[in-house]
Amino acid sequence: MPRTRLEFLGDGEVAKVVLAAPKANILDRAMMGEIRCILAELSSRHDLKAVVVGADGPSFSYGASVTEHLPEQIHETLRDLRELLLLLARVPAPTIATVRGQCLGGGFELALGCDLIIAEEDAQFGCPEIKLAVFPPAASALLPVKLGTARAAALVLTGNTWSGTAAAQCGLVSRLAPAGELDTALASWLRSDFLPRSPAALRHAANAIRLATLRALESDLPVLESMYLRDLMAEPDAVEGIRAFLEKRQPQWAEPSTASR
């Protein structure tokens, strides 16, 4: 059964990619593959004025599949997400993530891959990976571009969440919507700032503004993935944190070796 779908809004000038596996909308490899296929389908649509990434249910996404972060699958999981984000960064129209509820982990990284984010005031953004003794490579590449290093560190190093309101105050969210009014706010934004514009101008402007994002995805993200796979996954705590989460128990961290003290 498909976990995503493609819709067109208005007169077909706006495409909407919908995560359709509520309530969690887990961004597993199957869902990532479906999104990649949709984005590839849209890659030649030079008539589009926006591509929206949204979700069914009360939350955008709880994040990636934790099971797929175990050692036997993590290499493919990171690769699939990088390929998805690169496709998203090459869509021939501005991209807008529409966020309500939880937007965490891999789901947050998907939203970060979009040019703009519109969110409800009580939405929750976060990188909880540190609580599992790992870190988010894609968010570590994209957040400094979007927010600067200090604010990026506040999310990646603590695992704390930001409300939609707090994310807007930091410039991460471009437009806020009251709780329950995300679709109405999106429709108003599209009418005022996208539908009246030239699709060619929007396409070229999107390509121009994405240069730093593309550099982060093409240059920094492979380095971060290598750090994750080569260095982090050599630490017993990384596997223990993931297994403890899956087994619903408290993790037992390894004692630091003398060499690492």
Q: Can you give the pLDDT at residue 70?
A: 94
DSSP 216: I
Residues 6+ apart with CB under 8 A from 72: none
Q: Can you give the pLDDT at residue 46?
A: 97
Peptide bond connecting 49 to the previous residue in cis, omega within 30 degrees of 0: no
Q: Can you give the pLDDT at residue 257?
A: 64
Q: Can you give the pLDDT at residue 164?
A: 98
Q: Can you give the pLDDT at residue 1?
A: 82
Q: Can you give the pLDDT at residue 256?
A: 77
All domains in the chain, ordered by first residue: 4-200 (3.90.226.10)
Cα distance between residue 30 and residue 127, in whole Å: 21
pLDDT tier, 10 (very low <50, low <70, confident <90, very high otherwise)? confident
Instruction: Determine the average pLDDT of the residues in 51-59.
Output: 98
Q: Can you give the pLDDT at residue 255?
A: 82
Sign, CA torsion 196/200/201/205: positive
Say whether 222 sits in a helix, a strand or coil. Answer: helix
Contact indicator for 66, 242 with CB cutoff of 8 Å: yes
Cα distance between residue 104 and residue 159, in whole Å: 10
Could you read off the pLDDT of 133-162 as tens digits, one per residue?
999 999 999 999 999 999 999 999 999 999
Hey, what are 79's tokens? 């690769």
pLDDT tier, 17 (very low <50, low <70, confident <90, very high otherwise)? very high
Hey, what are 232's tokens? 């982090």
CA distance to 76, 190, 210, 221, per residue, from 4 (Å): 20, 22, 25, 25
Could you read off the pLDDT of 19-47 as tens digits, one per residue?
999 999 999 999 999 999 999 999 999 99
Could you read off the pLDDT of 107-130 as tens digits, one per residue?
999 999 999 999 999 999 999 999
In this predicted structure, the answer to whether residue 190 has a pLDDT above a threshold of 90 is yes
In this predicted structure, the answer to whether residue 261 has a pLDDT above a threshold of 50 is no
Side-chain half-sphere CA neighbours of 119 within 13 A: 31
Residues in the chain: 261
Could you read off the pLDDT of 58-106 as tens digits, one per residue?
999 999 999 999 999 999 999 999 999 999 999 999 999 999 999 999 9
